């Protein structure tokens, strides 16, 4: 995990969450690259890969065709901070939600159709609730 942004974040806890999600989804082999970035960095990546000229919350890149590599996840912690204030919960939970969302994309979930979106959203909520409950939060 690379943390290349300035807001305080518990990287170790995010690593635990990533392991938790992979275990819940039955992934036993492989690894994920996770980068915590600011809005400017994710905006640049979004422009290059999605041709969209604005920051986003999380980007996932499926690289499962590589040996033991599941994919890349890039999270904007600045975007997470703004959203966390809107919904009145912690930055850690919002970044955690983005991480769960990214991992679920990498293991096959999709959110383009309403039915798929609802299925993915339900799974995200279950995992975040279970993880933070286990962690005593």
Q: How far apart are CA 123 and CA 65, in angstroms?
A: 25
CATH code for the domain defined by 2-134: 3.40.390.30
Domain boundaries, the chain: 2-134
Q: What angle do CA 127, 68, 19 make, to 5 degrees?
A: 25
Q: Helices 39-50 and 77-87: crossing angle, nearest 10°?
A: 110
Q: Please state the pTM of the whole predicted model.
A: 0.91
Tokens, residue 131:
């993880």
Contact yes or no for 1/77 (Cβ under 8 A):
no
Reading the chain (137 residues) residue by residue, the pLDDT tens digits are 999 999 999 999 999 999 999 999 999 888 899 999 999 999 999 999 989 999 999 999 988 877 778 899 999 999 999 999 999 989 999 999 999 999 999 999 999 999 999 999 999 999 999 998 865 55
For residue 69, the model assigns a pLDDT of 81
What pLDDT score was predicted for residue 134? 61
Q: How many angstroms separate the CA atoms of 111 and 89, rounded?
A: 23
* Res 81: pLDDT: 97
């Amino acid at each position: 995990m690379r943390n290349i942004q300035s807001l305080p974040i518990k990287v170790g806890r995010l690593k635990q969450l990533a392991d938790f999600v992979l275990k819940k989804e039955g992934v036993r082999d492989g690894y994920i690259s996770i980068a915590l970035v600011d809005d400017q960095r994710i905006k640049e990546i979004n422009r290059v890969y999605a041709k969209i000229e604005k920051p986003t919350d999380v980007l996932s890149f499926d690289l499962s065709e590589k040996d033991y590599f599941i994919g890349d996840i890039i999270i904007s912690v600045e975007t997470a901070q703004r959203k966390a204030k809107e919904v009145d919960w912690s930055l850690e939970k919002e970044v955690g939600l983005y991480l769960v969302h990214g991992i679920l994309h990498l293991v096959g979930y999709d959110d383009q159709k309403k039915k798929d979106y609802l299925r993915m959203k339900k799974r995200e909520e279950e995992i975040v609730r279970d993880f933070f409950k286990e962690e005593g939060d």
